[in-house]
Chains A and B, each alone.
Chain A
Amino acid sequence: MDESTSAALEAIAREPDDLDGHTIAQLADYLDADRTPPDPTIDASPACQHALAALERLRRVAPELLLDDGAPPDDEDWVSRVMGGIALDAHAGADFVLVDGGPDARLVMTEGALRGLVRSAGDDEPGFLMGRVRFEGDLDPGAEVVVRTGVTVAHGVPIPEAADRLRQHIAAVIARHTRLRASRVDVDVEDVDAPRDGGAA
């Protein structure tokens, strides 16, 4: 910050209104709007320009300094405490009947558990990281269900062939673990992982 800016700051600190008719609030708004539309009464005022420079400096320097005193990001004790406090079955969803052997022999599964199965099946497929998993249709024994997935795919993967393998794998897992039949598995590629420079992590 040069001396004239310092002088302007002092003036602002003492007399916040002495900005050629503008206020700090207006100047902050102007900054928020990327100085558009241009306001000649601000742009032509040295006092306003100095105040804008000071506001920008504050905005630039403050966040990194203040957030610097947060916990180190790899504080695993703290992460464990947080994770210990969450209810793992919070998003389990409704039960559906897996095997209906009458009132005395009913086997149920949660929709969340089925999502988890599909998710880990997809993660096991080379080149893919699974996002959301959705089912369409009733999850009754013997029913046909549509599986909708969102995925991130590695750069360099031939997507149509790889997606076919992913579909088959997911359909096979559903057939193996449930009485459902995946009539369709939609694969929605939401992201392609950026290519990596060879070896340079």
Chain B
Amino acid sequence: MRTGPDPGPQNGAPLSTAPEVRTPVLDEASDALLAGRAADGDARAFAVLVRRHGGLLRGYARRVLGSAASSADDVVQEALITAWQQLPQLQDHSAVRSWLVRVTSRKAVDLLRGLKHHDDVDDVDAPAAEGAGPESMADASALAGSLHAALDALPEQQRQAWTMRELGGLSYEEVAEELGVPVSTVRGLLARARTTLMARLDDWR
């Protein structure tokens, strides 16, 4: 077998069984390869990562930001600019997705901290909108809507902790670091968030 355009005779083997050589393309490359090239300064490779994970990061940022969700695009954009600068320091290139989630988490938490200086709507345990649940919605988007509402109704830190853990895949220790609270607090926040969300998921049934 050869890589040139003319495969030529195959030592008696029928041509049809010769594997087709297909040069790998950047758009389909692994995260690890793309992160390595981006760390080397290849903007095209970074653009593929942005395209591949941007939707997830934007959805994620919206969930972390809650009522400030309109800033999600800005937060993700800022996070990606920071990520581009810091990529050469990333040790494990295959973990670039979860690393991007962490960078986005940090930017989102920074933004919320900044907002708090001006605006003290905060961690009052809002009653979880009793009776406001959807009644006769039966499709997946209704379920999503119900979860969105339930998540938005959670106290801020519970929502952030749950989003970082369950959607971002951060470890308890990483969540604690991002939120600036002890791991034991993260466990408590997650337990309360899970209990509320499980009950809400059940309401929908």
Contacts and interface: CB of A to CB of B under 8 A. Distances in A.
**A and B are interacting partners:** yes
Interface of A: 1, 6, 9-10, 12-13, 16, 23-25, 28, 51, 54-55, 57-59, 61-63, 65-75, 78-79, 81-83, 85-93, 112, 115-116, 119, 126-133, 150, 152-158, 162, 190-191, 193, 195-196, 198
Contacts of B187: 25
Interface string B178-203: 00000000011011001111110110
B41 A90 contact: yes
A58 B204 CA distance: 12
A119 B85 CA distance: 20
A62 B37 contact: no
A131 to B, nearest CB: 5
Nearest to A72: B55
Nearest to A191: B30
A79 B55 CA distance: 10
Given A23-B191, A158-B1, A129 B42 contact: no
A108 to B, nearest CB: 16
Interface in B65-96: 73, 76-77, 80-81, 84-85, 87-88
Contact of A25 (B30, B36, B84, B191): B191
Given A66-B148, A115-B40, A78 B54 contact: yes
B43 A86 contact: yes
Nearest to A81: B77
Residue from A6, A112, A152 with most neighbouring chain B CB atoms (10 Å): A152
A70 B60 contact: yes
Contacts of A152: 24, 29-30, 33
Contacts of A69: 59, 62, 144, 148
Contacts of B195: 12-13, 16, 24
Given A83-B43, A91-B39, A116-B42, A68 B51 contact: no
Contact of A55 (B19, B21, B32, B194): B194
